[in-house]
A and B are shown apart, each in its own frame.
Chain A
Amino acid sequence: MSDPLIRLTGITKVLKGQQEPRTILDGVDLSVDAGESVAIVGRSGSGKSTLLSVIGLFDRADTGTYELDGVDISRVPERRAAKLRSSHFGFVFQRFFLLKHLTAAQNVAMALVNGQGWLPRRERRARVMEALDLVGIAHLAKNRPARMSGGEQQRVAIARALVRRPRVLLADEPTGALDTETGALVIDALLAATTRGCGLILVTHDRDHAARMGRILDLDAGVLTERVPA
Chain B
Amino acid sequence: MRRFSGRFRSSLIIGLQGIRARKLRTLLSMVSLFLGVSAVVVVEAGASIAERALIADLELTDGIDGTRILDMPPNDKAADIIVSTVKGRTDAVGALSVSGIVGEPGVRPVNEGGSPIDQNWGGGAMICSSDGRCVEDTSRPKGEAIEVRLTALTGDIRVFRPFTQVSGRWLDFATMPSMAPHLVLNREAAKGFERHHVPAEMRVAGATANLTPQFVGVVDDGDVRPSAYVRLDELANWLPASGLGNPNGGAEVRVMLAPSSPVEQVLTTKLRGAGVETYVSTIESRKHRQKELTLMRLIFFSMAGLVLLIGVAGILNVGLATVGERIEEFALRRAVGTPRMLLAGIVLAETLLTGLLTAAAAIGVCIAGLKVVTMVVGDSQPLLHNVQFPWEAGVAGIIAGLVAGILGGFVPALRAAGIPIATVMRA
Contact = CB atoms under 8 A, between A and B. Distances in A.
Contacts of A99: 329, 332
Nearest to B336: A111
Interface in A29-56: 49-50, 53, 56
A178 to B, nearest CB: 18
B12 to A, nearest CB: 9
B6 A118 contact: yes
Interface string A70-106: 0000000011001111110001010101010110001
A101 B425 CA distance: 19
A70 B280 CA distance: 90
By DSSP majority rule, is chain B's interface helix, strand, loop, or mixed? helix
A155 interface: no
Contact of B335 (A58, A79, A113, A115): A58
B5, B13, B14, B425: residue with the most chain A Cβ atoms closer than 10 Å: B425
B270 interface: no
A96 B237 CA distance: 103
Nearest to A82: B339
A115 to B, nearest CB: 4
Given A82-B334, A82-B338, A97-B328, A113 B14 contact: yes
A50, A78, A115, A164: residue with the most chain B Cβ atoms closer than 10 Å: A115
**A interface, size bucket:** 20 to 34
Contacts of A17: none
A164 to B, nearest CB: 8
Contacts of A59: 420-422
A97 B426 CA distance: 11
Given A59-B422, A101-B17, A101-B20, A114 B329 contact: no
Interface string A174-202: 00000000000000000000000000000
B11 to A, nearest CB: 7
Given A53-B421, A97-B332, A101-B17, A118 B339 contact: no
A78 B5 CA distance: 21
A118 B10 contact: yes
Nearest to B18: A101
A117 B335 CA distance: 16
Given A101-B20, A102-B17, A114 B336 contact: yes
Contacts of B339: 78-79, 82-83, 115-116
Contacts of B2: 118
Given A59-B422, A97-B328, A118-B9, A85 B336 contact: yes
Given A59-B422, A118-B9, A118-B10, A110 B333 contact: yes
A103 B422 CA distance: 25
Nearest to B341: A79
Contacts of A82: 334, 337-340
B376 interface: no
A160 interface: yes
B337 A87 contact: yes
B399 interface: no
B7 interface: yes
Contacts of A115: 6-7, 10-11, 337-339, 342
Contacts of A84: 337
A97 B17 contact: no
B176 interface: no
A97 B5 CA distance: 28
Contacts of A85: 334-337
A58 B332 CA distance: 11
A114 B328 CA distance: 15
A113 B421 CA distance: 18
Interface of B: 2-3, 5-7, 9-11, 13-14, 17, 20-21, 328-329, 332-340, 342, 420-422, 425-427
Interface of A: 49-50, 53, 56, 58-59, 78-79, 82-87, 91, 93, 95, 97, 99, 101-102, 106, 110-111, 113-118, 160, 164, 172
9 contacts: A53-B425, A59-B420, A78-B339, A82-B338, A85-B337, A114-B336, A115-B342, A116-B6, A118-B10
